[in-house]
């Protein structure tokens, strides 16, 4: 149900939790054509001169592409601010500015509750501010027309008109989630003395899947080399390795964590089993494990978005709770990041 134009309640779509726009810098950033993985790596440096903080102190989260295909929505939030947010792990976390639709050129979309205002600008970005500051910002922007989605504005805003709320949230935001920064920031949570063993074990598991671009002979060579590295590492740590070095390493890592076995291994096994039907069509370009939230973050490339959607359904059907990043296309490939949680039973 849509609120009336004077309602002070911001409509919230199912599965979304809003963060006050004052806590998030929302930018529209033009970026050159590049693969999605490179874009994610470059976005922080693209906004560095627009933020009054060190990159070490903030999360820079790449959002979806806007309608022009050359501009990307980017959110910047201080690490300590995001750490204090209590969020529903099943809900997507978004700045409340994104509740408003993107307005037409020369217009602002505005909502007020009597004390504060949120504003969406035609480039897709926006901001929140105390209502008393809005006239100053409006004047600085050369007095754009106001599409008022809720609340009231004074006579100083002469060119304003009430606007109806859209029936659904903008579909370009359906895969945008500030929580992805919180999950991605956590690495493999193991003592440093186990770091090399854990890294080798992860790559050993990767060596078994046909998703990587390599022929059967190359995979065999990779497996043999990784088995040797595992065995040498175990022996150097004082743990004699048997015929199955990967099994021995998994058991040792499990004891180091005080568990029956690291959750990473069964999660990977279930993930790769779900991906197996797409062997030859899907490439795994990145994998990270966050022990803090028992999450597996994978980045996949495929010939088209439909294939990625099929993969998302497959891993969801394997028992995982899936948070999907925005699917992008470049150089004839579609790419998407999936964050998987659960599924380790």
- Give the chain as a 3 state SS string: CCCCCCCCCCCCCCCEEEECHHHCEEEEEECCCCCHHHHHHHHHHHHHHHCCCCHHHEEEEEEEECCCCCEEEEEEEEHHHHHHCCCCCCCEEEEHHHHCCCCCCCEEEEEECCCEEEEECCCCCEEEEEHHHHHHHHHHCCCCEEEEEECCCCCCCCCEEECCCCCCCCHHHCCCCCHHHHHHCCCCCCCHHHHHHHHHHHHHHHCCCCCCCCCHHHHHHHHHHHHHHHHHHHHHCCCCCCCCHHHHHHHHHHHHCCCCCCCHHHHHHHHHHHHHHHCCCCEEEEEEEECCCCEEEEEEEECCHHHHHHHHHHHHHCCEEEEECCCEEECCEEEEEEEEEECCC
C-alpha 296/C-alpha 287 separation (Å) is 7
> What local confidence, expressed as pLDDT, does residue 164 receive?
92
Place of tokens 């920031």: 185
Instruction: Specify the pLDDT at position 168.
Output: 79
Whole-prediction pTM value? 0.55
**Cα–Cα nearest to 285, from 341, 320, 330:** 330
Q: Are strands 160-162 and 145-150 parallel, antiparallel or unpaired?
A: parallel
Give ∠ CA 324-191-287 in degrees, rounded to 5. 25
- Phi first, then psi, for residue 300 (nearest 5°) are -120, 145
Q: pLDDT tens digits, residue range 170-198?
A: 877 877 888 877 755 543 333 333 444 54
Give the C-alpha separation, 154 to 196, whole Å. Answer: 63
- List, for the chain, all residue ranges whose pLDDT scores fall below the cut of 70: 1-8, 37-38, 89, 183-266, 269, 279-280, 291-292, 343-345
- CA–CA separation, 104 and 123 (whole Å): 9
| pLDDT given at position 155 | 79
Minimal CA–CA distance to 80: which of 107, 96, 58, 110? 58
């Amino acid at each position: 149900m849509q609120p009336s134009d004077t309602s002070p309640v911001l409509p919230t779509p199912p599965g979304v939790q809003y963060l006050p726009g004052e806590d998030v810098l929302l930018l529209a950033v033009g970026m050159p054509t590049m693969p999605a993985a490179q874009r994610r790596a470059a976005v922080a440096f693209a906004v560095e001169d627009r933020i009054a903080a060190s990159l070490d102190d903030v999360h820079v989260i790449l959002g979806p592409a806007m309608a022009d295909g050359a501009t990307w929505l980017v959110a910047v939030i201080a690490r300590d601010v995001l750490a204090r947010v209590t969020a529903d792990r099943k809900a997507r976390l978004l700045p409340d500015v994104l509740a408003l639709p993107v307005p037409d050129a020369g217009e602002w979309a505005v909502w007020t509750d009597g004390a504060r205002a949120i504003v969406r600008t035609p480039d897709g970005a926006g901001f929140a501010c105390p209502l008393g500051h809005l006239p100053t910002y409006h004047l600085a922007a050369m007095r754009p027309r106001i599409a008022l989605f809720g609340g009231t504005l004074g006579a100083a805003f002469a060119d304003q008109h009430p606007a109806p709320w859209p029936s659904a949230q903008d579909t370009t935001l359906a895969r945008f989630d500030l929580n992805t920064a919180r999950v991605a920031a956590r690495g493999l949570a193991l003592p440093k003395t186990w770091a090399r063993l854990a890294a080798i074990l992860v790559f050993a598991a990767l060596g078994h899947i046909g998703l990587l671009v390599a022929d059967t002979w190359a995979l065999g060579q990779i497996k043999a080399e990784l088995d040797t590295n595992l065995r040498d590492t175990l022996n150097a740590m004082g743990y004699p390795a048997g015929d199955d070095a990967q099994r021995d390493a998994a058991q040792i890592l499990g004891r180091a964590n005080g568990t029956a076995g690291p959750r990473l291994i069964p999660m990977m096994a279930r993930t790769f089993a779900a991906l197996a039907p797409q062997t030859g069509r899907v490439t795994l370009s990145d994998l990270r494990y966050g022990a803090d939230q028992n999450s597996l973050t994978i980045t996949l490339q495929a010939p088209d978005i439909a294939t990625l959607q099929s993969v998302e359904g497959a891993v969801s059907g394997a028992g995982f709770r899936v948070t999907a990043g925005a699917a992008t296309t470049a150089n004839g490939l579609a790419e998407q990041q999936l964050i998987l949680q659960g599924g380790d039973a």
